[in-house]
Amino acid sequence: MTFIAPHYNKSKRKSFFQFLRKDRYLIKTPWWLKKLYPGCLWSMPDNVKTLYLTFDDGPHPSITPFILDQLKQYGASATFFCIGENVNRYPEVYQRLISEGHATGNHTQRHINGWKNTTEIYINDVLEAGRFIKSRLFRPPYGRMRRKQIRGLRTDKMTIVMWNILAGDWDASVSPEKCYKRIKNKISGGDIIVLHDSEKAWDRMRFILPHLLEDFTKSGFKFDKISV
C-alpha cells in the first residue's frame, strides 16, 4: 500500500513498515493510522452506549451458528464480512444470519491481499463476491489495500469498513483469557470490534464472545449492526 504521511519523518515511516512486515497488530486503532486510509469507516458515533461486533472470514458451518446462538441470547445484532467462496459452500448458514437480522459485508471472493495484487485483480475479486453478497459494505482481508483500490471501490459506492478494536483472536500465541483481557478495558461506545468466524480463531473467539456480550450488556451497552 502507498502511504502518504508528510508529517512523519522518514525513520518513523520506515519503522511503521517494519512493524507491518512482521504481521504485528494494534489492539486499539490510533488516530494516525486512520489517516493513512482516508475515506474508510473506523468507528460509529460514540454519543450512545453502542458497540458494533463484526466477524470476518465466514460463514463457517459450525462456528457461525455458535456466534448466532450467542447473539440471540442477548438480542444483539452484528455484521458479518463474508468470503464469497464460503457463501457458496454454506448458503444455508449465510441465509440464517440474514434471516436473523444481521448485516453482511463483502470480504472478497478468495480472501486476497490487496498489497499482493493489482488493482484490477483486486476489484474484480470483490465484484465477483458481490454476485453472492448483496451489500455495499466491504472490509479488506488483512486490512491491506492500495490507495487505487480504495478509490476504485469508493467509486463503486462501497463503504470500506475498518475497525477501532482488533481482538487478535487468530493469534495462537495468546491465551483466550489474555486475548479478552487486553481488549476489555480499551472498548468504548461506537467501537467497531473485529472477531473471526474461522477455525484459526475458534479457541479464542468462543471465549471472548460470551464474556464480551455478558460484561458489556451488564454495563448498559447494546450491540448493533453497521448501517450506513
List the domain boundaries for the chain.
38-223
Classify 143 in phi/psi space as left (phi over 0), alpha (psi -120 to 50) or beta: left
Which range has the worst mean pLDDT, 7-11, 20-24, 214-218?
A: 7-11
Q: In terms of Cα–Cα distance, which of 192, 204, 179 is closest to 81?
A: 192
**pLDDT tens readout for residues 141-180:** 999 999 999 999 998 899 999 999 999 999 999 999 999 9
Alpha helices per DSSP H over the chain: 10-21, 31-35, 63-73, 84-89, 91-99, 119-130, 147-155, 176-184, 202-218
Residue in this structure with the C-alpha cell 497488530, named with its chain if needed:
25
CA distance 11 to 85: 41
pLDDT value at residue 3:
32
Computed over every residue of the chain, the mean pLDDT equals 90
pLDDT over 70 (residue 8): no
Question: What 3-state class would DSSP assign to 36?
Answer: coil
Band (pLDDT 50/70/90 cuts) for residue 75 is very high
Least confident interval from 38-42, 86-90, 166-170, 218-222: 38-42
- Per-residue pLDDT band for 227 (boundaries 50, 70, 90) equals very high
- Grid cell, residue 196, equals 473471526
Residue indicated by cell numbers 445484532:
77
Cis preceding-peptide flag for 59 (omega within 30 of 0): yes
3-state secondary structure of 89: helix
pLDDT at 156: 85
Mean pLDDT score, 79-103: 98
Specify the pLDDT at position 35: 87
Residue-level pLDDT at 48: 87
Does the pTM exceed 0.85?
Answer: yes
Cα 218 from Cα 221, distance rounded (Å): 7
- State the Cα angle at 55 between 147 and 213, rounded to 5°: 135
Give phi and psi for 150, each to the nearest 5. -60, -50
Cell of 101: 437480522
Looking at 41-50, 71-80, 111-120, 201-210, which range is the least confident one? 41-50
Instruction: Write the single-letter amino acid at 27.
Output: I
Active site residues: 56, 196
Is residue 44 within 8 Å of residue 11, measured between CB atoms? no
Fold designation for 38-223:
TIM Barrel (3.20.20)
Taking only the tens place, the pLDDT of each residue in 17-69 is: 444 444 478 999 999 889 888 889 999 998 889 999 999 999 999 999 999 99
Buried b (16+ CB within 10 A) or exposed e, 133-153: bebebbbbbebbbbbbbbebb
